[in-house]
């Protein structure tokens, strides 16, 4: 006869906690470590943003170097900045892990201490933090990470690229006098200008839609959370 599988232990209810001086010192060192790791990954985020800004600046310089210069660099740099956005979103998922842990310690450990309240009125936040150390995972999806970086940084870079590209078509090699000139100036080799302009509109419009969709997901996630004590 097969033996019955043992039942999983019932989780213990949240209990009152009182930290000793040694435990509070350990938490202080833990907080310093999490802040340091979040700072390191924040620096890595800044480096990829700097790459995107520098490459956009180089493309602007090449495009506006002369009236005869091609607007093609502004088209290509949009693809390159997309690669940087993907890199940065991946780094942001790592950064968000350390940031969320440090933020949880600030809001549920240090803030009550500064207000003169109990250091740990319940075990809810300690269990959340302990489980995150036992089972480390990303706190947000890759799509949400892209959406956050897009709304906060890369959306502005893409907007500058779009304005610079269509500004180039409007003034070079001379001021545009008719809308039909756009198609001729936008053509790239055998590719007609209508397709180039349409591709640019679709490219930038898709990022706008993506930023809005991920923002709605963020809002829905905050409503479903129903608690300020959470990670991510």
How far apart CA 103 and CA 129 sit, in angstroms, is 11
Look up the domain containing 147 and give its range. 21-225
Q: Is 232 a member of any domain?
A: no
Cβ-based neighbour number of residue 88 at 10 Å? 25
Q: Is 231 a member of any domain?
A: no
How far apart CA 82 and CA 107 sit, in angstroms, is 35
Q: Is 8 a member of any domain?
A: no
Q: Is 130 a member of any domain?
A: yes
Which of these, 117, 96, 106, lies nearest to 27 by C-alpha position? 106
User: What is the per-residue pLDDT for 12?
Assistant: 47
pLDDT in tens, the chain (232 residues): 434 444 434 444 445 567 788 888 999 999 999 999 999 999 999 999 999 999 999 999 999 998 888 889 999 999 999 999 999 999 999 999 999 999 988 888 888 888 877 665 455 788 888 889 999 999 999 999 999 999 999 999 999 999 999 999 999 888 888 888 888 888 888 889 899 999 999 999 999 999 999 999 988 887 777 655 556 6
User: What is the per-residue pLDDT for 7?
Assistant: 45
How far apart CA 59 and CA 167 sit, in angstroms, is 14
Strand ranges inside the chain, DSSP E: none
Q: Is 2 a member of any domain?
A: no
How far apart CA 122 and CA 141 sit, in angstroms, is 29
User: What is the per-residue pLDDT for 122?
Assistant: 57
Which value, in Å, is the radius of gyration of the alpha carbons in the chain? 26
Q: Is 1 a member of any domain?
A: no
Q: Is 51 a member of any domain?
A: yes
Residue 227 class from Cβ within 10 Å (0-12 exposed, 13-18 middle, 19+ buried)?
exposed
Q: Is 5 a member of any domain?
A: no
Helix H or strand E encompassing 41:
helix 21-63
Give the list of residues 6+ apart from residue 123 with CB closer than 8 angstroms, or none: 14, 15, 16, 17
Residue 68 DSSP class: T
Domain count, the chain: 1
How far apart CA 172 and CA 59 sit, in angstroms, is 16
């Amino acid at each position: 006869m097969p033996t019955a599988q043992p039942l999983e232990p019932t989780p213990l209810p949240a209990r009152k906690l009182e930290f000793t001086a040694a435990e509070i010192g350990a938490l202080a060192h833990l907080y310093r470590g999490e802040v340091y790791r979040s700072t390191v990954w924040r620096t890595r985020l800044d480096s990829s943003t700097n790459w995107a800004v520098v490459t956009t600046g180089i493309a602007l310089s090449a495009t506006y170097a002369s009236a005869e210069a091609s607007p093609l660099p502004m088209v290509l740099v949009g693809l390159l900045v997309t690669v940087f956005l993907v890199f940065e979103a991946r780094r942001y998922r790592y950064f968000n892990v350390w940031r969320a842990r440090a933020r949880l310690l600030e809001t549920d450990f240090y803030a009550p201490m500064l207000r003169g309240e109990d250091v740990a009125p319940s075990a809810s936040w300690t269990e959340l933090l302990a489980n995150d150390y036992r089972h480390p995972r990303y706190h947000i999806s890759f799509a949400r990470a892209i959406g956050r970086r897009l709304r906060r940084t890369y959306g502005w870079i893409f907007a500058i690229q779009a304005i610079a590209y269509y500004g180039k078509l409007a003034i070079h090699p001379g001021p545009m006098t008719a809308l039909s000139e756009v198609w001729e100036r936008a053509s790239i080799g055998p590719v007609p200008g209508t397709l180039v302009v349409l591709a640019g509109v679709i490219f930038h419009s898709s990022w706008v839609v993506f930023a809005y969709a991920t923002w709605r997901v963020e809002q829905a996630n905050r409503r479903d959370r129903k608690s300020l004590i959470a990670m991510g």
